[in-house]
Amino acid sequence: MLQQTRAQAVIPYYERFLERFPSVQALAAAAEDEVLALWSGLGYYSRARNLRRAAVEIGAGGFPRSYEGVRELPGIGDYTAAAVASIAFGLPHAAVDGNVLRVVARVEDDASDIGSAKTRERFRGVAQKWLDAGDPGRFNQALMELGATVCVPRNPLCLVCPLAKVCRARVSGRTGELPVKLRKQEPVRIEGELLVIERGGRVLLRQRDASASRMAGFWDLPSPEDLPAAKKAARVGEIRHTITHHHYTLAVRRAAVRGRVGAGFRWFAAAELDAIPFSTMARKALELAGFLGVRR
């Protein structure tokens, strides 16, 4: 849940998730839609699908106790596998996140592009050489914490850093220039409208096609293109949302539609929304329109 998401935003989701799924077995037995519904609002929904798939594998065969076994679980990459292997099982694998990449770049005074897979792999090798094989879990946590609290991106606290004497960037005066990340995708700005259509205390949502490349099966508010016959009414306001480098600015309007709606649409009461996966943009729009209370 913390992947690409602030801890403050994660905490309430984490608490609700563990209350509903207190064990691996409970998560493995759950329907995917229920898991996605509890994840709704956190984004990057492949994380939730992979977490459930991993629970199914663990429930069937037990938790793997090797780096390679952990790495093979759905959704697990090198960093997570190394963190679990070292902290849970004391195995000598360096866990390299963004904080560690920054520490390595500065200690080594290396201006290579950390956006490059080749550079990240080389920096991982440096961290592996540094690793205390006798206590790898604590070492990994200490190095990550050093990057998060002392060797911070801006204005690093070099005077209290335990690595100050061996930091080559401090000697060269390039601490503030490192690490270097050259690859940055230009933002894509997207504008549009979302329609809040209510009838009898229920709101109309459309389900994304199962073949959709992103958020397949999720429910969302319709756009004017989805319902050309909808009659627009008052403009409620505007929401903004960012997904990676895509920046959305969406006007939220009330609207009405007569008669029956086609396949793929369904009316939902507010109390039903917690049981279905629906998009963060839809939640923001419904909160703006007063159909939903603001989630804390």
Q: Looking at the predicted structure, is the pLDDT value of residue 215 above 80?
A: no
Top-confidence residue, 84 or 5? 84
The domain boundary, picked from 118, 150, 184, lies at 184
**111 and 171, same structural domain?**
yes
Chain segment 31-43, per-residue pLDDT in tens: 999 999 899 888 8
Q: What is the pLDDT of residues 227-267, one digit of tens each?
A: 998 999 999 999 998 877 888 999 999 999 988 888 889 99
Strand partners, 239: 250
Residues 253 and 239 placed together within one structural domain of the fold: yes
CATH of the domain at 147: 1.10.1670.10
* Residue 21, both tokens: 């799924």
Does 1 map to a domain? no
Domain count along the chain: 2
Does the residue 45 lie in any domain? Answer: no
Q: What are phi and psi of 107, to 5 degrees?
A: -60, -40
Q: Which of 237, 80, 87, 109 is nearest to 170 (CA)?
A: 109
The verdict on pTM exceeding 0.95 is no
- Domain with 180 in it: 92-184
Closest CA to 278 of 24, 84, 270: 270
At residue 177, the 3 state secondary structure works out as helix
Neighbours of 227 (CB within 10 A): 18
> In the prediction, which pLDDT does 211 show?
66
Question: Which two tokens mark 261?
Answer: 């709606």
Last residue of a domain, one of 184, 206, 226: 184
Phi-psi category of residue 140: left, alpha or beta, with phi > 0 → left and psi -120 to 50 → alpha? alpha
Q: Are residues 173 and 161 part of one domain?
A: yes
Residue 263 lies in a domain: yes
Mean pLDDT of the chain, nearest integer: 92
41-85 tens-digit pLDDT? 888 888 999 999 999 999 999 999 999 999 999 999 999 999 999
Q: Is residue 82 part of a domain?
A: no
Q: Are 224 and 231 in contact (CB under 8 A)?
A: no
Domain boundary among 147, 162, 184: 184
| Residue positions counted in the chain | 296
Alpha carbon distance 82, 92 (integer Å): 8
Q: Which residues pair with 278 in a beta bridge?
A: 219
Residue 294 lies in a domain: no
